[in-house]
Amino acid sequence: MESKNYKIKRSFISNEEVKLITEWVDTIDFKSRESNYYITEFSKELKGKSHMFDISDTPLTNYITTFQSASEVHKEELPDFLKSIIKRVADEMGLPTDNSFVQVVDMNKGGKINAHYDVSKEGYINYKCNISVVAEDYNFYIDKDVFEVKATDMYCFEASLYKHWTDAFSSRRIFLSIGFLTPYSLLGRTDEDPNVRLSKRIEKYFMKKGEK
Ligand SMILES: [Fe+2]
């Protein structure tokens, strides 16, 4: 199933990769820090842990990962199996990896993702490819669309341009959210695009409200 607002690749990761990710999640060191307004609103009902890894470590990814993370941003090398998954995503979707990052989220029963836009920076779309690692089948809502996600599926979308959310989960959920900060033109967008203009207004709103 393909549509304008999102792309789905069913069974994108193997069961072996599910096992590697699940074992690895429990070993990640979690260092909480004071959250800004944006992340507090976003993660209110997450009921779990979110680990942000800044892969590219550029001024742009430093800015976005710090802004979107409820905990200290990790800069250490990712395990090989995760690097190879991310490379596969970029190759298959034709995405640039020069400004990329990954968030590993482990949610408990009852957690949900409230409706939100991801933050971006002028000139770039925060393009996300999310992979469901462990979870019951769930509905993912994006703008006016909704689709079903099964464990091991990947879905990609322009997270700074469309509002997205989930219902509450009735069991543990682990997912990877891989971010590729992508110039407008590579995604066929321009400065004048109504969604791009909205995204700029959102960026300004959170800057005013959230940054100290
Ligand atoms: Fe998001």
pLDDT digits (tens, 9 = 90+) for 91-121: 999 999 999 999 999 999 999 998 999 999 9
- Give the sign of the dihedral formed by CA 52, CA 143, CA 59, CA 183: positive
Select 6-210's CATH number: 3.40.190.10, 3.30.365.10, 2.40.220.10, 2.60.120.620. 2.60.120.620
Protein residues near ligand 1, an ion, with CB under 5 A: 118, 159
Domains of the chain by residue range: 6-210
The helix (H) or strand (E) run that includes residue 66 is: helix 59-68
Q: In the chain, at which residue ranges do the beta strands (DSSP E only) sit?
A: 6-9, 48-54, 100-107, 124-134, 138-142, 145-149, 154-158, 164-166, 173-183
Pair of tokens at residue 31: 């260092």
Pair of tokens at residue 195: 């969604």
- Best CA proximity match to 30, nearest among 45, 54, 52: 52
pLDDT in tens, 2-41: 447 899 999 999 999 999 999 999 899 877 666 666 666 6
Percentage above 90 pLDDT, the chain = 72
pLDDT band with cut points at 50, 70 and 90 for residue 86: very high
Q: What is the mean pLDDT of residues 135-149?
A: 96
In angstroms, the CA 155 to CA 144 distance is: 16
Please give the distance, rounded to the nearest whole angstrom, from the Cα atom of residue 81 to the centre of ligand 1.
Answer: 24
Category of 85 on φ-ψ map: left (φ > 0), alpha (ψ -120 to 50) or beta: alpha
Please give the distance, rounded to the nearest whole angstrom, from the Cα atom of residue 27 to the centre of ligand 1.
Answer: 24
pLDDT band with cut points at 50, 70 and 90 for residue 212: very low
Please give the distance, rounded to the nearest whole angstrom, from the Cα atom of residue 179 to the centre of ligand 1.
Answer: 10
Please give the distance, rounded to the nearest whole angstrom, from the Cα atom of residue 20 to the centre of ligand 1.
Answer: 24
pTM above 0.85, yes or no: yes
Pair of tokens at residue 19: 């096992």
Type of residue found at 22: T
